[in-house]
Structure 1
Amino acid sequence: MLMRHVHPKLQFTHMLPYGAILHENGVQFVVFSRSATSMRLLLYDRVEDREPVEVIQFSRENDRWGDIWSIFVPGVAAGQLYHFQADGPYDPSQGQWFNAKARLIDPYAKALAGDFQQSDDGVIRPPKCVVVDDYFDWEGDRHVRRNLSESIIYETHVKGFTQDPSSKVKHPGTYLGLIEKIPYLKSLGITAVELMPVHEFPIGGIYGQQVERPNYWGYDPLAFFAPHRGYAAGTKPGAQVNEFKQMVKELHSAGIEVILDVVFNHTCEGNELGPTLSFKGLENRVYYMLGNGGSCYKNFSGCGNTVNGNHPIVRELIFNCLRHWVHNYHVDGFRFDLASILSRDRNGNLVPNPPLVEAIAEDPLLADTKIIAEAWDAAGAYQVGSFGDLRWAEWNGRYRDDARSFWRGDRGQMGAFVTRLAGSSDLYEHSGRPPYCSINFITSHDGFTLNDLVSYRDKHNEANGEGNRDGDNNNHSDNYGVEGPTKRPEIENLRVRQIKNMISTLMLSQGVPMIVAGDECRRTQKGNNNAYCQDNDISWFNWKLIEEHSDLVRFAEALIKFRRSQPTVRRETFLTGRPKFEGALPDVSWYSALGTAVDWHGDDGTLIALLKAPDLEHDPQGVGRDVLLLVNATSQPREFILPPVAKGTRWRLFVDTAAASPYDVYPDYDGPPPPRSRRLTLSYRSMCCFVAEDPVRLK
C-alpha cells in the first residue's frame, strides 16, 4: 500500500461556503438573500474610493440558485475591495429594509479596510470588504489542547494591554504589541488569554463623524468573520489577518491558549432607527428577531436588536464563523457574550435544549475547543448552572457575588462562600457537570477592577457622559473608610490584604479561575465600573504598576504556580466530604475556628478547611499535597485551634495575606510551621494557607 506523507506546514484550511472564495483565476462571490429582487457587486481599487470602479450585476437566471446569489469574477485577486448591493422590498412595517443605494458589508467578509466615510448624499459608506488569501505558514502549529481543569484564564483587551506608552512596545495597541508581552504572560503563569471582541466593530461614528463616546470594548459587531482592523500594525488592507495569526502562533509557542469573546447576540445595525449596513439590507426578517409583525426589533441584548440565532440560516452562519476562527486562525475556544440569547427560539422564548446550544456542543469540528457561556442576557434570563450540557462551561456570576460579599464581611455568607470554594456543586452536580464547568471570577471587564473593588463603595462613571446612570449599582464593594485613593496606611494595608484574600480564594477554589489583566498589579479605572467607551488611561494597562506593586505580582505568580502544580485545588470531580476507604480522612473537612463543627447558619466569618490530596493514577507533577486553609473574614483578630485531624501532618506556611512581603507567600512551601500548641491568631480579614511538608505520592 502506498502511504503518502503530507508536509506538516501544509495544514487544512476551512473553506467557507459563502463570501469571497478565492480561486486560481478569480473569485467566487456568494451571498444569501431570499427576498432580494436583484444583486450587485461593487468593486473598488482603493480604500479611500467613495464610488466603485466597477459594478457587476448578478443575473437572476444564471447567478441565483435558490436563495443563494453566486457569481464568479475572473481576474479578481486577493486584496480586492468590495461591497454588495441589493434591491428588494422596502416595507419596515413588515420587517423589510432593502435599500438600492446601500453599500452592504458581506456577512462572511474575512477582513474589512478603512473606516466609515462622511456622507453628504444620504448614502452610508461603510468599511470595504477585502478578498483574503487564507494561506499562512503555521509551521506545524496546532491547538494547545490543555484540559480546562488545568486552565488559568487571563481576560484582556488587545488594544488596552499595550496602548499605554509605559508598555514600551514597538507596536502599541496591536496584535503584534501583545506578542511583545508574551514573556510577561508566561512569567505570570497564565495558560489562556481571553480576548475581548476582536471581530470587526465600528471604530468611529457610523456616519463618518466622530462620536462623543467611542466604542472601546468592541461589543458592537460589524463583521463576525473578520479580525478587527484597528488592532493591526500594518496599513495594507487585510494586514490584520496575518498579524492575528502570528499572534496566535506565538502564544501557542509559549503554551498559551487563545479564547475569543464572541458576540452573536446583536449587531451594530441597531433597531429601526439604526443604519442599514449588512444584515438589514440582505434579509432583515431572517437575521433578526422581530415583533409586531416585523415592524420593531426585539431587544434581548440591550443594544437595539437581537440576532435570530436559532433560525437555520443564522445558525449556519454562526457555525461557519466558529469553524472559521478555529481552523483558519487556530483559536482554542470561545466565550459567548449574553449566551442566554442563544437559548431563545425564533420568537424570543427561552426553550429547553435549544438547537444552537446543543449543536455547538456536538459539532465535531469544534471538539477541541473550550466553550464558555455568559449564561444570562439583558432581558432577565439567568441560566447560571443550567446552560447546556457538560461541554459548556459558564462564567459563574454567583461565585463573583458570593466571594465579594463574604470578604466584605456581609452576614450569613459562610455557606455560600464554602459552596463556591468547593466548586459550586449546587449549580453543576445535579446536571452531571464537573467542577471545571464553573469559570470562577471575582472581576471581569464589566465592573470594577480588583483594586477599585476595595477602593470604592460607589461607581464613578461621570466620564462616560451619562450622568453616572450607567453601570451596575450592586457591586458588593467597599472603600474601608475613604472613597478612592488614600495615603492613610491602615486603609491601604487593608485594601492590599483584601486583594490578596480574593486572589488566594480564586486560586484555591475548585473550578477554573479567571483574572482580569492588571488585577495582579492594582490596575485602576478610577472607580468607573462601565468603561466601555474609555479608550484612554482609564482603561489602558499601566505597565509602571508592575514595578510599583511588584510584591503583589510576586504573590499572584506564586498562587498561580501553586494551582498549576497541585491537583488538590483543581479536582475534576466534586468533593464529597467522605473518606475514600475506611480509616482515611475525607477529601475535605470543614471546621470552626475552634476546630469544632461549623455552624453553617451562623454569622461567624471564620473557617478551617482541610483538603486531602487526590489519589490520582496520572498526574504530571507526580505529587500532591494536603492543604489547610484558615479564614477570618471578620473585622477582629481571632484565635484558631487546629483540629486534631491536622496533628499528624507536618505543615508549612504557604500564604498569610496579613503579612508584609516577602512573608506573605512562600513559593517553595518552606514557611514556618504552625505552633506546637496548634493555637494561632489570625489577623482581621485575613487568610492563611498551610501546605503539607511531605507530598503524597500519587499512584
Structure 2
Amino acid sequence: MLMKQPCPDLHFTYQMPYGSALQDTGVQFSVFSRSATSMRLLLYNKMNDLEPSEVIEFDPNDHRRGDVWSMHVPGLAHGQLYHYQASGPWDPDHGHRFDAAARLIDPYAQALAGTFQKSTDGVVRPPKCVVIDDTFDWEGDRHLRHDVSESVIYEMHVRGFTKSRTAKVKASGSYLGVIEKIPYLKSLGITAVELMPVNEFPIRNPLGEKLDRPNYWGYDPMAFFAPHRGYAHGKKPGSQVNEFKQMVKALHQAGIEVILDVVFNHTCEGNENGPTLSFKGLENQIYYILSEGKHYCNYSGCGNTLNGNHPVVREMIFHCLRHWVYNYHVDGFRFDLASILSRDRSGNLIPNPPMVELIAEDPLLANTKIIAEAWDAAGAYQVGSFGNHRWAEWNGRYRDDVRGFWRGDGGTLGALATRLAGSSDLYEHAGRPPHCSINFITSHDGFTMNDLVSYKDKRNLANGENNCDGDNHNISDNYGAEGPTRKKAVRTVRNRQVRNMMSTLLLSQGVPMLVSGDEIRRTQRGNNNAYCQDSDISWFDWRLVEKNSDMFRFVQALIAFRREQPTVRREHFLTGKPVDGRKIPDVSWYSPAGTPLDWGQHALSMVAYIAAPSRVDDPEGLGRDMVMMFNSTGQDREFMMPEMGRGIKWNLFINTAGESPEDIYPDLDGPMPPSSRLVDVPCHSLKVYVSQREPF
C-alpha cells in the first residue's frame, strides 16, 4: 500500500496589480487615481537627493486604463528610488486635495528609504519608495499552523526587544537582533510573537511640530506593504525586506509563529491640517471616510479614518494581507481598532459588515490567524460579537475582571469564574469556541504587570503632555507605597499579585497573551502610555532576566504546563455537567469551606475544581484534574479540598505565596495536601493542586 506523504507548502510570490514590479527589461509602475488629470513618476539616484534625476509623464492615452495609470520604464533595476506626483482638482469641499507639487509615496510601495527631508519651498519630501527584488531563499520554510487553541502569544516590539545595551547583541534594535534572542524566546516556551506595527510609519512628526516626539509604537501607518526601515540593521535601501524575511524564517525554525499588528483604520496623513504624503494626493475622497464630503471622520482618534469598506480600499487591504502571508510567510494578524472595519462608507456601524466577513472567508487566508481589537476610538465596543468563529478577539472584559478580582474589588467573583472558564457569556451564544477569546491582563497599551501592582496612578510626565495622556482607569494598586519600595510587606504582596495574575492568565480557558518583559517584571516606571518613549522606559532590560530569574522560572513552568495540559485549553466550553465516563462535572465551584459557592457581592475566595477532559477530547490521557484555591482577601484562610477529590492523589503545583523555588513545581511533584484536607491559603494568594495520576 502506498503511504500518503505530507504535501509541502508550495512557495510562490503573490503578485500585486499595483506598485512597482521588477521585470527583465525594467520596471512596471502602476497606481490608482480616478480623479487625477495627470500623473508623473519621479526617479532619484540617491536616498538623500532633494530633487529627482528624471521626471517621466504618464501619457493618458497610452498609460491609463480606466482609473489605473500604468507604465513600463526600461533599464531600471532593483533598488530604484521613486515618488509619484499627481495633478487634479483642489476642491476640499468635495473631497479633492490634489497638490501637483507634492511628492507622493506609492500606496503599494514594498519598501521606503531615507527620512523626511527639510526644504525651503514648503514641499514635504517623504521617504522614497524602493523597487524591490523579492527573490529570497526560504529553504523550504512553511507556515507552522499551530492550532489556535494551543497558542501562547507574546506581544513584543521589534526595536525595544534588543535596543538596550543590556541586550548585548550585534544588531541591536533590529529584525536581526530578534534572531539573536530566539533562544530566549524558545526557552520561555511561547508559540507566537505578536509584533507591534512593522509596516512603515514616520519615525517622527513629518511636519516637525512642537510636540515632535518619537513615534515609538508605530501606530501611524505610512505604507502598508513595506517593512519598517527603522528596524533594519543594514543601511542599503531595501535591506529591511531581506532582514525581515530572515527573522521570520529563523523564528519558524524555532517553532515560533509570527503575527503582525496591522493598522487598517487610519494613516499618518491626519486631518485637513496634516501633510499630503500619499493617499490624500491620489484619491482623498475614496481612501478616507469624509463627513459632508469634506470633513475627516475621526473614529480612530488619530485625525482620519481609512474607508475600509470602499471597494478600492477593501481591495488594497486584501492585497496587503496576502502580500504579508505569501511574500513574508507571516502566520496571522491582529487588527488594531478593528471595529472601524464594521463601519460603512458613511461611518455607520453595520450588521454583518462585508469587510469583516470577507477577511474570514478569503480562501488565500484560510490558515491565517485573525485577531480583532474589537473596539474603536468612537465608542464602538464589539467584544463577543465581532465576526464569526474564524475571528478571535482581544478580550478586554477578561483584562478588567481579572484585575478587579485580584485587587479585591467586590462583586467580581462571578466575573472571574466566567473568565477562567473561557468567557462563554461572550462567545458561546454565537457558536464560537473558547479560543476566540484572546485573554490578556496587560498589553503594550497600559501598565506593565509589574507597574500594575506598583502604582495607583499613571506617571506620564515624560511624554510631555502634563500627565493628561493615557488611561485613568487602570484597576491597579500599589499595596502601600507608590512605585519602587524597600518595604518588605509591600514587596511581598506585589510578588504574590504578579504570580496570581500570571497564573490566572495561563490557566484560563481561551488563548493567553503576555507582554514582552512581564515574565521578568519589566517596569515603565509608571508610564501607562509609552507610545513616544524610544528609551529605557520602554526597552527590554536584559539584566532583569538574571535579577528576576525566579519570576522567569515561574512563567516558564506555567507555559510548559499549559502546552502539555488539555485540561486548560479545551475546544469546548465547560458546562458544569459530568465528563463522559466519570461522575464528576467538568467544572465545580465551592466556598473555602467546601460548600456550594455563594456568589455574593463581597465574596473574594473560592475553589474551582476543573476535571480533565474525556477520552474523546484527550485520547492520550494527558489531562489532569485541577483544584484552584483563590484568596483575594487580606486575611489568611483555610480551604477544604473538594469532597469529590477523595481517592485522588494530589500534588501542589502552584503556591503564589511561596518563596522560589517553592512557588511552583514544574515536575508536578509538590507536597500533597494535609491528611485533614484543610489547606492554608495566605492572603492575596493562589494555590493549585493537580491530580497525581490519570483520573480515569
TM-score class normalised by the smaller sequence: over 0.9
Offset of residue 583 of structure 1: 5.5
> Quick one: distance in 2 between partners of 1:581 and 1:49?
72
Equivalent position of 1:71 in the other structure: 71
Aligned AA (1:171)? A
Equivalent position of 2:533 in the other structure: 534
Equivalent position of 1:124 in the other structure: 124
> Quick one: distance in 1 between partners of 2:618 and 2:30?
50
1:653 and 1:669 in contact (8 A); partners too: yes
Offset of residue 467 of structure 1: 0.7
SS in 2 for 1:341: helix
Instruction: Tell me the alpha carbon deviations over residues 82-118 of structure 1, each in whole angstroms, 9 at most, x when there is no partner.
Output: 0010000001111110000001000000000000000
SS in 1 for 2:245: helix
> Quick one: distance in 2 between partners of 1:487 and 1:618?
49
Gaps of at least 5 residues in structure 1 are none
Offset of residue 228 of structure 1: 0.1
Equivalent position of 1:563 in the other structure: 562
Equivalent position of 2:288 in the other structure: 288
Offset of residue 211 of structure 1: 5.8
Offset of residue 616 of structure 1: 4.0
* TM-score under structure 2 length normalisation: 0.98
SS in 1 for 2:439: strand
SS in 1 for 2:356: helix
1:119 and 1:208 in contact (8 A); partners too: no
Instruction: Tell me the alpha carbon deviations over residues 338-362 of structure 1, each in whole angstroms, 9 at most, x when there is no partner.
Output: 0000000000000011011000000
> Quick one: distance in 2 between partners of 1:207 and 1:392?
38
Instruction: Tell me the alpha carbon deviations over residues 310-353 of structure 1, each in whole angstroms, 9 at most, x when there is no partner.
Output: 00000000000000000000000000000000000000000011
Equivalent position of 1:440 in the other structure: 439
Q: Percent identity?
A: 68
Offset of residue 368 of structure 1: 1.0
Equivalent position of 2:604 in the other structure: 605
Q: 1:73 to 1:398 in 2, by over 3 A?
A: same
Instruction: Tell me the alpha carbon deviations over residues 109-153 of structure 1, each in whole angstroms, 9 at most, x when there is no partner.
Output: 000000000011011110000000111100000101000000000
2:205 and 2:213 in contact (8 A); partners too: no
Equivalent position of 2:194 in the other structure: 194
1:115 and 1:208 in contact (8 A); partners too: no
> Quick one: distance in 1 between partners of 2:665 and 2:203?
46
Equivalent position of 2:181 in the other structure: 181
1:117 and 1:208 in contact (8 A); partners too: no
Query: Moved runs in structure 1, 4+ residues, more than 3 A?
Result: 7-10, 207-212, 580-583, 616-622
> Quick one: distance in 2 between partners of 1:178 and 1:615?
40
1:49 aligns with 2:53: no
Instruction: Tell me the alpha carbon deviations over residues 236-290 of structure 1, each in whole angstroms, 9 at most, x when there is no partner.
Output: 0000000000000000000000000000000000000000000000000000000
Aligned AA (2:76)? V
Q: 1:622 to 1:13 in 2, by over 3 A?
A: farther
Offset of residue 695 of structure 1: 2.6
> Quick one: distance in 1 between partners of 2:23 and 2:615?
52
Aligned AA (1:14)? Y
Instruction: Tell me the alpha carbon deviations over residues 133-192 of structure 1, each in whole angstroms, 9 at most, x when there is no partner.
Output: 111100000101000000000000000000000000100000000000100000000000
Instruction: Tell me the alpha carbon deviations over residues 207-246 of structure 1, each in whole angstroms, 9 at most, x when there is no partner.
Output: 4689631110000000000000000000000000000000
Aligned AA (2:669)? D
Instruction: Tell me the alpha carbon deviations over residues 22-58 of structure 1, each in whole angstroms, 9 at most, x when there is no partner.
Output: 1111111000000000000000010011111111100
1:375 and 1:394 in contact (8 A); partners too: yes
Q: RMSD between aligned alpha carbons? A: 1.4
Aligned AA (2:64)? R
Offset of residue 620 of structure 1: 8.8
2:648 and 2:695 in contact (8 A); partners too: no
> Quick one: distance in 1 between partners of 2:289 and 2:420?
39
1:484 aligns with 2:476: no
1:204 and 1:211 in contact (8 A); partners too: no
> Quick one: distance in 2 between partners of 1:31 and 1:696?
64
Equivalent position of 1:339 in the other structure: 338
Instruction: Tell me the alpha carbon deviations over residues 489-526 of structure 1, each in whole angstroms, 9 at most, x when there is no partner.
Output: 11011101100000000011000000000001110001
Instruction: Tell me the alpha carbon deviations over residues 464-484 of structure 1, each in whole angstroms, 9 at most, x when there is no partner.
Output: 111111100000000001010
Equivalent position of 1:645 in the other structure: 644
> Quick one: distance in 2 between partners of 1:27 and 1:350?
41
Equivalent position of 1:102 in the other structure: 102
Gaps of at least 5 residues in structure 2 are none
Aligned AA (2:290)? L
Offset of residue 295 of structure 1: 2.1
> Quick one: distance in 2 between partners of 1:664 and 1:358?
45
> Quick one: distance in 2 between partners of 1:411 and 1:9?
52
Equivalent position of 1:86 in the other structure: 86
Matches within 5 A, 1:402-481: 402-481=401-480
Instruction: Tell me the alpha carbon deviations over residues 675-694 of structure 1, each in whole angstroms, 9 at most, x when there is no partner.
Output: 11111211001000001110
2:33 and 2:67 in contact (8 A); partners too: yes
Equivalent position of 2:239 in the other structure: 239
Name which of structure 1's ranges 402-411 and 611-620 shifts more when overlaid on structure 2: 611-620
Equivalent position of 1:13 in the other structure: 13
> Quick one: distance in 1 between partners of 2:673 and 2:623?
20
1:328 aligns with 2:330: no
SS in 2 for 1:141: coil
1:457 and 1:479 in contact (8 A); partners too: yes
Aligned AA (2:462)? A
Name which of structure 1's ranges 407-416 and 204-213 shifts more when overlaid on structure 2: 204-213
Equivalent position of 2:305 in the other structure: 306
Equivalent position of 1:664 in the other structure: 663
Instruction: Tell me the alpha carbon deviations over residues 630-660 of structure 1, each in whole angstroms, 9 at most, x when there is no partner.
Output: 1101110011111210112100000000000
Q: 1:19 to 1:658 in 2, by over 3 A?
A: same
> Quick one: distance in 2 between partners of 1:188 and 1:627?
23
1:637 and 1:681 in contact (8 A); partners too: yes
1:154 and 1:517 in contact (8 A); partners too: yes
1:116 and 1:205 in contact (8 A); partners too: no
1:33 and 1:282 in contact (8 A); partners too: yes
Aligned AA (1:256)? I
> Quick one: distance in 2 between partners of 1:158 and 1:134?
22
Q: 1:237 to 1:211 in 2, by over 3 A?
A: farther
2:114 and 2:128 in contact (8 A); partners too: yes
* TM-score under structure 1 length normalisation: 0.97
> Quick one: distance in 1 between partners of 2:357 and 2:59?
38
Q: 1:175 to 1:526 in 2, by over 3 A?
A: same
Aligned AA (1:421)? L
Q: 1:175 to 1:211 in 2, by over 3 A?
A: farther
Equivalent position of 1:523 in the other structure: 522
2:604 and 2:631 in contact (8 A); partners too: yes
Instruction: Tell me the alpha carbon deviations over residues 441-468 of structure 1, each in whole angstroms, 9 at most, x when there is no partner.
Output: 0000000000000000011111111111
> Quick one: distance in 1 between partners of 2:84 and 2:513?
41
> Quick one: distance in 1 between partners of 2:442 and 2:615?
32
> Quick one: distance in 2 between partners of 1:668 and 1:467?
50
Name which of structure 1's ranges 17-26 and 389-398 shifts more when overlaid on structure 2: 17-26
